[in-house]
Amino acid sequence: MNAIPKRFGQIIRVKPEKLDDYIVLHKNPWPCVLERLDKSNIGNYSIFLAPGDLLFAYFEYFGQDLDADLRLIAEDPCTQKWWYETDPCQQSMDPDGKQQWLDLKEVFHMPAGNRG
């Protein structure tokens, strides 16, 4: 486990007609989905709704091998069922079409040592 996590910002578009479904799903996320994220060293995960039907995700990765941890998430039957519900709500903004959520470039971070 890393004391200082790697930070991720991501964006995706939500289909306006699916917004209510998306919000209801995420108000009561399935415990098995959360458990798989946790086991894959992902935490402090939030999603915000922005104008223009945009969703902005922020999470932190505390592990050492992100690719392996993401693969375990993708192979998890519970997560696959969850994505079967959520994917139709979303429209990827990844120009390469390789992943649902598009990773954003971090242009600022407040140094952690600054607090206290």
Minimum separation from the CB atom of position 53 to a copy of itself (A): 12
Binding mask 68-97 for a copy of itself (x = CB under 8 A): -------------------------x----
- Max Cα distance, the chain (Å): 45
Task: Report if residue 106 touches a copy of itself, rule: CB under 8 A.
Answer: yes
Q: Three-state SS for 22?
A: helix
DSSP letter string, 41-94: TEEEEEEEEETTTEEEEEEEE-SS-HHHHHHHHHT-HHHHHHHHHHGGGEE---
Task: Report if residue 98 touches a copy of itself, rule: CB under 8 A.
Answer: no
Task: Report if residue 26 touches a copy of itself, rule: CB under 8 A.
Answer: yes
Answer for which of 18, 21, 30, 47 binds a copy of itself (CB under 8 A) is: 47
